[in-house]
Chain A
């Protein structure tokens, strides 16, 4: 008897401890997530939860959404004029972190309290279909965003977020056509001209591109910085999606990238860097000897501009001619049209602020005036054909960073040619694993067959449902 009493006591104590730890855990997390809005939500009954991975959309929203009343000092919340509190949840992208956290939150969406439910989350093109083809995103038509509202947007930005049944599940304020950004001084030395039209003529297809690479090499320059620079240009021009059923089909054009990159590496036409590493960033700066970089809209005015400066802006440098190689870049269309990146706004199923979500989508992605202003202020390329054409035709518009060139005109041309029909839900994993597997081959560590085998291993680890990989002949 005593024994059972003892064990009962033990159980009760254990239970009490579990409960107390659980209570501690949940109270601390909820206090963290609903800290600011908790008081207000009781009155206004409205909290708009937005999930994203960096502050790009946050700053666009705070600067351009008409209903913004004030922004909290630490930027964690934004108050709207109707009393709604916008709560920002920002999880960095690295190592799939953003998606992991988002997935957990979405899976628990149904059980979350109304003010904790995600209302808006952002997605990128590489994995858009994962969310678009799920029940966790809402058809924008159900929110009240009509086809006429979105008529001014580029078709490809709608294609990416169209699900299997033809419903549009998201919308974006930016279009991200890619261009080839080259150094004017190096182009003059190699080709004798820095005029974008003449440079484009010299780079209009891959054969010519390779010839210029050879000429650049003879003059002591590198054509590209690293292995992955031209990857998107090839991977966007494939003939079929990465995956069909449970079979990965490697496209011939991807293998063309392998062939070209291996040739470039063996001939010394590139600097063996990888995207986003130190070498790659340094190659874009004053000491770089690289002819050019494949970059899309956001990359030119943010990444490339930042890297080109001798004294970075946060160290007191100014984005102006004379600081590093500011003004020495120009853009041309390059050998093939492509796009890279882009951010879409999705409405989460179960949102309690459907009208507000619709208005945010409408104002930021369909309102031509706002879109035009964003481009004029930030030189970001926005998703409104008419507004962009207006800027493209404006002879007074030019980017100081690009030596006065009107890059919007080129983007406007390139954006029309983007074909998104081959995007798939597995793009992110396939692209990442493919680049990683073939890096060893370019480095000369392994044979091409080993690289293929490594890709097969990696992709099956990443996506257990995929069963085989087919290579082109």
Chain B
């Protein structure tokens, strides 16, 4: 008798736990443990000299001291510059295109076609895209051949040997790869706005500019914050595009060396100590920037908890 009453009060909650278990198990093994060991080894001297493993010897904060004494800030600056020169045109064109595509009065034809086309660069692997640009803009590549035959320059412009050229190309590639993605996100956000607001604004005599700044922008702010944060995290972890474009060297004069390329340089000798300390600092910077952006742009949002989690999760990834 007792058993049967118990059976009636069976809790189905356990199935919930069982179903989410795979995620937590995978998260623990592939994220939590590596994360913890990264932090742990950042306090150790631990690398390979040839085939000999040196360490791990506990050195306290020595790795961090060495790191801050090196060119870390320079690479941090490079990374931010490379991100910004890609992000500014990206957000500008994305907003513009999203506003145009969603404007009911413009009646643009072939919207679907353009949406597909602008998204396409994102389908190519970043490294393949980078290889393509490396070939296109090499000293005797097709771009130079075209410029010379068009009479614009009389000898090849060495794009990858000048700071402006190399950084500009990285920015251009990031812009091309991501503006389509951002446009589609922003379009979704704009289409989520109550159409009555636009109608009311029109009836009140607003022009396009006024509608954009007074209605559209304030209403898509949560998505804008999301775009900014994910793009910033992606930008701070920029690696494959500059790595392949500069053949892993970050030239000229290490001005295209990003933080992750700097980290990668330390992996030549499997220097887990130094690489770990770079990762930890990068993690802290990511977290600080995300929290800063979040509070400055989203301070009065009514449901901040969800967003915060998202940002934190993205930062860990």
Could you tell me which A residues sit within 8 Å of B by CB distance?
6, 9-10, 13-14, 17-18, 95-96, 103, 106-107, 130-131, 133-134, 136, 272-273, 277-279, 282, 425, 429, 436, 439-440, 443, 445-446, 450, 454, 457-458, 461-465
Contacts and interface: CB of A to CB of B under 8 A. Distances in A.
Contacts of A443: 158, 161, 252
A14 B269 contact: no
A445 B253 contact: yes
16 contacts: A6-B17, A10-B17, A14-B28, A18-B29, A103-B48, A136-B51, A272-B158, A272-B161, A273-B139, A278-B138, A278-B140, A279-B139, A445-B162, A457-B71, A462-B268, A463-B49
Given A462-B268, A465-B54, A454 B253 contact: yes
A10 B140 CA distance: 61
A440 B135 CA distance: 20
A462 B51 contact: no
Interface in B69-89: 70-71
B161 A6 contact: no
B21 A462 contact: no
A9 B21 CA distance: 11
A458 B17 CA distance: 50
Contact of A278 (B25, B48, B141): B141
A17 B51 contact: no
Contact of A440 (B70, B140, B251): B251
Contacts of B25: 13-14, 17-18
A14 B32 CA distance: 14
B222 interface: no
A279 B155 CA distance: 14
A107 B51 CA distance: 8
Contacts of B26: 17
Contact of B269 (A17, A136, A463): A463
Contacts of B138: 277-279
B57 to A, nearest CB: 12
B271 A103 contact: no
Contacts of B139: 272-273, 277-279
A461 B21 CA distance: 41
Interface residues of B, number: 41
B14 A282 contact: no
Contact of A464 (B161, B253, B274): B274
A134 B51 contact: yes
Given A10-B21, A272-B139, A134 B252 contact: no
B14 A446 contact: no
Secondary structure type dominating chain A contacts: helix
B47 interface: yes
Interface string B41-61: 000000111111010000000
Contacts of B307: none
A103 B268 CA distance: 12
Contacts of A461: 262, 265-266, 268
A440 B253 contact: yes
Contacts of A439: 251
Contact of B14 (A6, A131, A136): A6
A131 B22 contact: no
A239 to B, nearest CB: 24
Contacts of B135: 278
Given A446-B252, A450-B253, A458-B265, 11 more contacts: A14-B24, A17-B22, A279-B138, A282-B140, A425-B50, A429-B268, A436-B251, A446-B253, A457-B254, A462-B269, A465-B47
Given A13-B18, A279-B138, A461-B266, A133 B253 contact: no
Nearest to A429: B268
Contacts of B141: 278
Given A13-B21, A17-B22, A18-B25, A440 B51 contact: no
A95 B127 CA distance: 14
B18 A464 contact: no
A146 B161 CA distance: 52
Interface in B119-138: 135, 138
